[in-house]
């Protein structure tokens, strides 16, 4: 059949059959693009699926490894405690309890790596931390050749019972997870689910252990992680309860003291914790910046901290000048009997450490920090939490040994630069009166603390001078 001819406006003749061919060609291009797009999406989806599976595998291996290591370390703790009870020489006990400390610390680290659902395992974590700390305190004691006391054996037997219970229960969880064919990579994803729904057995099992361990007696001992120490109340928190308006007034007065600047409150927040406080946000009267944040205790209206958020330019004064500026600032706040002990230079500021002085004795637990901007001498920071936690009027007894007797306990090769009476805290927060002896040996600076009642060498610190100031180690 002859092709159909059409006449256009220009008089040109086109063949319809040719147009049909052109139309077919135009349809091919979108079709090819669609096919390629679908193929690309399919490959992209495959890539996502592959990446997700690799991530799940990674989580699976990491969580499984952390849990199995946790079991191993707890089993080692239980076995070593039993050895510590049986051992009869200080040397053996010292090595055993040093190992217990390492194993308990490792177990606590592994426990913290396991993603949890619902309530955390605070009691189990506390048990591991306290067990390690108690073992370390015993290791230090036995290194001095001291013998075990009956009450220490009793505590060790209690710890052995708890460690044994923990090890057995962890093994049960291990079997439960294996029987349920648990995908460890799914544990983290279950963290946001309703606990009434199906939840992987490992976190739920750990929560059950934690609840049961609450029935065991808490460990009371002379260490920094003991329950009776972590629950201590602030000694310097005196006065009546105040409201947020009064807290804002206190914050403004604190920031405005010694300056002509006036501030206004923009926001007030509640701060919970060991010392409940109001967090006051201030800005200058005629500006939006810089923001100054002040924490004021709800009881008594004590200033816990202050931070001026302005950027501090390059220093125009030496860091040593910060001590006199800080002293004037505290005097203006009617905070008396505070003595600067040293200055640390940090990011164009000088941080001055102040200690309380009572009857000529330096009280190290009662410390404050004042931060001075070295570009213009402005006070841009304050930290008084240590003072509020520890300050009290102390009954300082006279030393039972003289200064000369105390110096006999110091290495004779130490070239003494200064000596004074001080009160320092031990690891268990017990305070003791000491002679603080500063000196140098072979070019290195040291601080030696000699018990003012027994003549015992309590602590030695090495002073290292850095670009930012002196640091004790």
pLDDT in tens, 140-166: 777 767 777 888 888 888 888 888 888
d(CA 215, CA 226): 17
Are both 273 and 384 inside the same structural domain?
yes
Most confidently modeled range among 87-101, 154-168, 207-221, 449-463: 449-463
* Predicted structure pTM score: 0.61
Choose between 185 and 310: higher pLDDT.
310
Are both 384 and 274 inside the same structural domain?
yes
**pLDDT surpasses 80 at 12:** no
Choose between 433 and 13: higher pLDDT.
433
Are both 416 and 365 inside the same structural domain?
no
Asked if residue 1 belongs to a domain, the reply is no
The pLDDT of residue 353 = 92
Burial class (CB in 10 A: 0-12, 13-18, 19+), 194: exposed
Are both 329 and 221 inside the same structural domain?
no
Are both 58 and 184 inside the same structural domain?
yes
Choose between 163 and 118: higher pLDDT.
163
Asked if residue 13 belongs to a domain, the reply is no
Q: Identify the weakest region by mean pLDDT among 82-96, 353-367, 397-411, 434-448.
A: 82-96
Are both 177 and 92 inside the same structural domain?
yes
Are both 297 and 197 inside the same structural domain?
no
Which pLDDT band, with edges at 50, 70 and 90, does 244 fall under?
Answer: very high
Are both 195 and 275 inside the same structural domain?
no
**pLDDT surpasses 90 at 67:** no
Asked if residue 395 belongs to a domain, the reply is no
The pLDDT of residue 175 = 74
Of 179, 202, 230, the residue that ends a domain is 230
Asked if residue 86 belongs to a domain, the reply is yes
Q: Identify the weakest region by mean pLDDT among 34-38, 112-116, 311-315.
A: 34-38
Q: Which residues contact 60 (CB under 8 A, 6 or more apart)?
A: 183, 184, 185
Altogether, the residues listed in the chain come to a count of: 473
Q: Identify the weakest region by mean pLDDT among 112-116, 126-130, 157-161, 352-356.
A: 112-116
Asked if residue 107 belongs to a domain, the reply is yes
What residues are paired with 369 via a beta bridge? Answer: 353, 383
The pLDDT of residue 192 = 39
Q: Whole-number mean pLDDT of the chain?
A: 80
Cα 79 to chain centroid distance, Å, stands at 30
Asked if residue 152 belongs to a domain, the reply is yes
**For residue 244, what are its two tokens?**
């947020």
**pLDDT surpasses 60 at 220:** no
Most confidently modeled range among 211-215, 276-280, 456-460: 276-280
Are both 73 and 122 inside the same structural domain?
yes
3-state secondary structure of 138: helix
Which pLDDT band, with edges at 50, 70 and 90, does 209 fall under?
Answer: low
The pLDDT of residue 54 = 61
Of 230, 258, 287, the residue that ends a domain is 230
Asked if residue 42 belongs to a domain, the reply is no
Q: How many domains does the chain have?
A: 3
Tell me the CATH number at 435: 3.10.450.40
Choose between 15 and 126: higher pLDDT.
126
**pLDDT surpasses 60 at 20:** no
Asked if residue 24 belongs to a domain, the reply is no
The pLDDT of residue 233 = 85
**For residue 241, what are its two tokens?**
């309860």
d(CA 79, CA 82): 5
Are both 419 and 383 inside the same structural domain?
no
Of 230, 257, 288, the residue that ends a domain is 230
Which pLDDT band, with edges at 50, 70 and 90, does 266 fall under?
Answer: very high
Which pLDDT band, with edges at 50, 70 and 90, does 47 fall under?
Answer: low
The pLDDT of residue 446 = 93
339: closest CA among 321, 323, 318?
323
Name the residue range of residue 146's domain. Answer: 49-230
Are both 349 and 378 inside the same structural domain?
yes
Are both 157 and 56 inside the same structural domain?
yes
Which residue's entry shows tokens 């110096």?
A: 407
The pLDDT of residue 138 = 83
């Amino acid at each position: 059949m002859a092709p159909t001819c059409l006449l256009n406006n220009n008089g040109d003749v086109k063949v319809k059959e040719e147009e049909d061919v052109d139309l077919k060609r135009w349809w091919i291009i979108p079709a090819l693009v669609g096919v390629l797009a679908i193929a690309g999406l399919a490959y992209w989806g495959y890539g996502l699926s592959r990446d997700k599976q690799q991530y799940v595998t990674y989580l699976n291996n990491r969580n499984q490894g952390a849990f199995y290591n946790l079991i191993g370390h707890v089993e080692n703790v239980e076995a070593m405690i039993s050895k510590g009870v049986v051992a009869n020489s200080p040397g053996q006990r010292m090595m055993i309890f040093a190992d217990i400390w390492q194993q308990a610390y490792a177990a606590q680290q592994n426990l913290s790596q396991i993603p949890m659902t619902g309530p955390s395992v605070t009691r189990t974590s506390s048990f591991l931390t306290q067990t390690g700390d108690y073992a370390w305190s015993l290791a230090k004691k036995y290194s001095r050749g001291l013998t075990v006391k009956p009450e220490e054996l009793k505590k060790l037997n209690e710890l052995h019972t708890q460690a044994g219970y923990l090890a057995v229960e962890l093994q049960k969880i291990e079997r439960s997870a294996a029987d349920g064919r648990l995908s460890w990579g799914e544990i983290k994803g279950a963290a946001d689910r309703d606990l009434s729904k199906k939840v992987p057995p490992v976190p739920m099992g750990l929560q059950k252990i934690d609840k049961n361990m609450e029935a065991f007696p808490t460990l009371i001992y002379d260490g920094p992680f003991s329950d009776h120490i972590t629950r201590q109340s602030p000694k310097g928190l005196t006065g009546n309860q105040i409201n947020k308006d009064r807290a804002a007034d206190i914050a403004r007065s604190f920031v405005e003291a010694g300056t002509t600047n006036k501030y206004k409150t923009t926001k007030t927040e509640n701060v919970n914790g060991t010392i409940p406080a109001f967090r006051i946000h201030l800005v200058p009267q005629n500006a939006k910046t810089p923001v100054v944040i002040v924490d004021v205790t709800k009881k008594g209206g004590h200033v816990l901290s202050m931070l001026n958020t302005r950027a501090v330019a390059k220093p125009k004064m030496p860091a040593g000048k910060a001590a006199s500026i800080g002293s004037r600032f505290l005097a203006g706040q009617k905070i008396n009997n505070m003595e600067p002990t040293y200055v640390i230079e940090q990011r164009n500021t000088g941080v001055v450490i102040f200690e309380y002085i009572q009857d000529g004795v330096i009280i190290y637990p009662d410390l404050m920090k004042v931060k001075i901007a070295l570009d213009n001498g402005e006070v841009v920071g304050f930290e008084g939490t240590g003072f509020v936690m520890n300050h009290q009027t102390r009954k300082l007894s006279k030393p039972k040994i003289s200064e000369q007797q105390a110096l006999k306990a110091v290495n004779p090769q130490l070239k003494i630069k200064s000596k004074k009476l001080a009160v320092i805290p031990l690891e268990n927060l017990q305070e003791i009166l000491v002679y603080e002896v500063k000196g140098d040996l072979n070019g290195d600076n040291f601080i030696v603390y000699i018990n003012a009642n027994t003549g015992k060498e309590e602590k030695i610190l090495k002073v290292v001078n850095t670009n930012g100031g002196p640091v004790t180690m």
